[in-house]
Amino acid sequence: MKLNIKWALLTMIITISTVLTACEPLLVLDPKGPQAKTQADDIMLSIWLMSAIVIVVLAILVFVLIKYRASKQSDDYEPPHIEGSLLVEAICIGIPVIIVIFLSVISIDSNFKVESTPEGYEDQEPLIVYASSSNWKWHFSYPEENIETVNYLYIPAGRAIEFKLYSYGPITSFWIPQLGGQKYAMADMVTTLHLAADAPGEFMGRNANFSGAGFAKNIFDVTAMTQTEFDEWVTEVHETADPITEDKFEELLEPGHLGRSTYTGTHLEFSPAPEHNHGSTDSEVEESEHENHDPTSAVEEMEHTNH
């Protein structure tokens, strides 16, 4: 029976590690950007280290169970009374302390890496994208390009992207596993997530934080392309897409699922990200201002600044 445990666990560990390293890589362990790479490296390192710990514990357990089981011992064997030994216990504390210190150093280093502009892309100005969620959609606003998309995200590869995240409803979590880990989007503040894609490609993106009935399908497509292709796309959008209006945006915010759509202008104009709101009075003033505002003139203004 003791052998069963040993084999069950060994097979399990072997299966897990083969699956993790074998032909079809898991999303998280198949990074396509520097942030995801940092995280995947941390994960693999900790898997190996932790497997070693599990194996050591298992080996000691199997050894004592085989050696000291009652059926192998004489009837008159009386186990001794042992209080404990300072040396043994110091070792049992010392080794884990060393492991924890080692992992802490790596963890701290990685924390500062994933919270700043991705390594290797510091020389360029990052592209700023506002990603906001509503039940159960994602709205992507490109203030510099003056474009807004729903449920799909085009980004230039080889350039740092700085996502500004917030929500028009419950807390959500913006996650593109192959580019990097997630971060919360909340209604009363803006959070920042630094990502970058090393090469063009298509990725899955989703809301990872439970947000009600439509949560499972709260997903979006990510396409990374060359800077030239990205610029072409921006020009094309400006030629073909309709401008986003306050009414149109209100309609988009209604709970439900939507396909992809594209607009010129951004909703940041009339419904700014929470960091611009300092208390309720400010937003009321802004709202009343916008009531008299002609939406088309806003787009014209923005286009002027673009030229």
Partner 1 sequence: MEFFKQFAVPHPSFLIYGAMVSIGLAMLAIVVGITYFKKWGYLWREWITTVDHKRIGIMYLLTALLMLFRGGVDAIMMRYQLSMPENTFLDSQHYNEVFTTHGIVMILFMAMPFITFFFNYLIPLQIGARDVAFPRLNALSFWLFFMGMGLFNLSFIIGGSPDAGWTSYFPLANNEFSPTVGTNYYMIAIQIAGIGTLISGINFITTILKMRAPGMSLMKMPMFTWSAFIANVIVVFAFPVLTVLLAMGTMDRLFGTNFFTTDNGGMDMLWANLFWVWGHPEVYILILPAFGLYSEIISTFARRNLYGYKSMVASMVVISVFSFIVWTHHFFTMGQGALTNSIFSITTMAIAIPTGVKIFNWLFTLWKGKIVFTTPMLYSVLFIPLFTLGGVTGVMLAMSAADYQYHNTMFLVAHFHNVIIPGVVYAMIAGLTFYWPKMFGFMLNERIGKWTAWIMSIGFLLSFMPMYITGLDGQARRMSTYSEAAGFSMLNMVSFVGAGIMAISFVLLVYNIYYSIRYASRDIGSDPWDARSLEWATHTPVPEYNFAVIPEVASTQAFWDTKKNGHELFKGKIEKIHMPNNSGWPFIMACFFFVFGFAMVFSIWPVVIVTLIGILVCMAYRSFEKDHGRYISVKEIEETEAKLRGAKK
Stretch 264-293 residues interacting with partner 1 (CB under 8 A): 279-280
Is 103 an interacting residue with respect to partner 1 (CB under 8 A)?
A: yes
Q: What is the C-alpha separation between 185 and 191, in angstroms, rounded? A: 7
Q: Considering beta carbons, is residue 59 or 300 the nearer one to partner 1?
A: 59
Q: Sign of the CA dihedral 116, 150, 220, 226?
A: negative
Q: What is the C-alpha separation between 198 and 159, in angstroms, rounded? A: 8
Q: Considering beta carbons, is residue 40 or 225 the nearer one to partner 1?
A: 40
Q: What is the C-alpha separation between 207 and 204, in angstroms, rounded? A: 11
Q: Considering beta carbons, is residue 64 or 227 the nearer one to partner 1?
A: 64
Angle at which helices 34-67 and 86-114 pack, to 10 degrees?
A: 160
Q: Considering beta carbons, is residue 54 or 285 the nearer one to partner 1?
A: 54
Distance of CA 69 to the CA centre of its chain: 49
- List b or e across 33-43, with b for residues whose CB sees 16 or more CB atoms inside 10 angstroms: bbbbbbbbebe
- Identify the residue among 9, 241, 258, 273 touching partner 1 (CB under 8 A): 9
Query: In the complex, what is the shortest distance from the CB of residue 138 to partner 1, in angstroms, rounded to a whole number?
Result: 14
**What is the per-residue binding string for partner 1 in 174-213, x denoting contact by CB under 8 A?**
-x-x--xxxxx-xxxx-xx-----------x-xxxxxxxx
**What is the per-residue binding string for partner 1 in 67-86, x denoting contact by CB under 8 A?**
-xxx--x---xxxxxxxx--
Is 14 an interacting residue with respect to partner 1 (CB under 8 A)?
A: no
Contact 209, 184 (CB under 8 A): yes
Task: Kindly identify the residues of this chain, within the stretch 107-136, that bind partner 1 according to CB under 8 A.
Answer: 107-108, 110-116, 135
Alpha carbons within 13 angstroms on the beta-carbon side of residue 242 total: 7
Give the interface segment with partner 1, choosing from 53-61, 140-148, 154-162, 264-272 (CB under 8 A): 53-61
Contact 130, 147 (CB under 8 A): no
**Judged by CB under 8 A, how many residues of this single chain contact partner 1?**
95
Q: Considering beta carbons, is residue 282 or 301 the nearer one to partner 1?
A: 282
Task: Kindly identify the residues of this chain, within the stretch 241-260, that bind partner 1 according to CB under 8 A.
Answer: none
